[in-house]
Amino acid sequence: MTDTWNSPEKFNREAAQWDENPQRRAVALEVAKAIIAAIKPEKSMHALEFGCGTGLVTMEIAPLVKTLSAIDTSREMLSVLLEKIKASGLSTIETICADLSSPTDTVGTDKTFELIYSSMTLHHIDDTAGVLNRISKLLSPGGMLALADLDLEDGLFHDDPLEKVHHGFDRRVLAEMLKVAGLQPLSFETIYTFNKTNRSGKTAAYPAFLLTATKIDNKKL
Ligand SMILES: C[S@@+](CC[C@H](N)C(=O)[O-])C[C@H]1O[C@@H](n2cnc3c(N)ncnc32)[C@H](O)[C@@H]1O
């Protein structure tokens, strides 16, 4: 079956084995480290991760903030995360099965967040401008955004040629899209380089960035 944009089926199928891939665990740790260094999460913050998957990054960030809303479209990914939450005893994480790119999927009533982040999820969402707008509405003024994703790639990173994904992002184009959504880009840094045998059988390097931005506080302008 061909998976469509925002379809949870592929991730539902992969959830039980997701954490077995050492590269996934390694990149998640690097993303968490980079977010902690760049944003300095605080115990007063309500945070939201979209595309949290099995919570590889969630479990690193949650102890540092007040609450963490962990959102994903895949129920199976979330059920792996729920097991981790149970085992850890952390009571400040709520899991929400929702599509962040759908304006009708709620992610907490009238809630805004001081921190929103994601890791390797943006390229799975068809409407980048739309989801950035949604994020902007969900961020409190002066709130922080951290997005980790692939730089523009050769189109061979994903194993399934039929999978609907963006082939990474051009940093300058993404920065412009953020500004249109009312977000001020602050920094881009390369935080990880995937060395992987791509689906043409060649080993190639795929760099990933962490982008940080802030929601413009119109009252301070
Ligand atoms: C490549 S995985 C990354 C998972 C996790 N962040 C990690 O680093 O292991 C992308 C995740 O985004 C989720 N996802 C895709 N589109 C989404 C959307 N529109 N809203 C919320 N989650 C989404 C998928 O179900 C999947 O769990």
Q: How confident is the model at residue 221 (pLDDT cuts 50, 70, 90)?
A: low
**Residue 4 reports pLDDT greater than 80:** no
Contacts of 73 (CB under 8 A, 6+ apart): 6, 7, 8, 11, 51, 97, 98, 99
Q: How far is the CA of 152 from the centre of ligand 1 (A)?
A: 19
Least Cα distance to 44 among 84, 92, 87 occurs for 92
**Residue 216 reports pLDDT greater than 50:** yes
> Averaged over 180-207, what is the pLDDT?
93
Least Cα distance to 157 among 187, 199, 190 occurs for 199
> Averaged over 16-28, what is the pLDDT?
96
Task: Give, using CA atoms, the residue closest to atom 20 of ligand 1.
Answer: 99
Atom of ligand 1 nearest to the CA of 99: 20
Name 117's bridge partners: 49, 146
Atom of ligand 1 nearest to the CA of 27: 8
For position 214, what pLDDT does the model report? 98
Atom of ligand 1 nearest to the CA of 53: 27
**Residue 55 reports pLDDT greater than 90:** yes
pLDDT tens digits, one per residue of 203-214: 999 999 999 999
- Asked if residue 210 lies in contact with residue 122, where contact means CB atoms within 8 angstroms, the answer is no
Task: Give, using CA atoms, the residue closest to atom 4 of ligand 1.
Answer: 53
**3-class SS at 204?**
strand
**Residue 172 reports pLDDT greater than 60:** yes
Mutate to test the pocket of ligand 1, among 76, 82, 121 (most ligand atoms within 8 A of CB): 121
For position 152, what pLDDT does the model report? 93
Output helix, strand, coil percentages for the chain, rounded to the nearest 5: 35, 30, 35
Residue with tokens 């993303």: 31
Q: How far is the CA of 16 from the centre of ligand 1 (A)?
A: 14
Q: How far is the CA of 68 from the centre of ligand 1 (A)?
A: 16
Q: Does the predicted TM-score (pTM) go above 0.85?
A: yes
Average per-residue pLDDT in the chain? 93
For position 106, what pLDDT does the model report? 82
Protein residues with CB under 6 Å of any ligand 1 atom = 6, 8, 11, 24, 28, 50-53, 56-57, 71-74, 77, 99-101, 119-121, 124-125
Atom of ligand 1 nearest to the CA of 10: 25
> Averaged over 158-168, what is the pLDDT?
87
The per-residue DSSP string of 96-120 comes to: EE--TT-TTS-SSTT--EEEEEEES
Task: Give, using CA atoms, the residue closest to atom 13 of ligand 1.
Answer: 51
- Domain annotation for the chain: domains and CATH numbers: 9-220 (3.40.50.150)
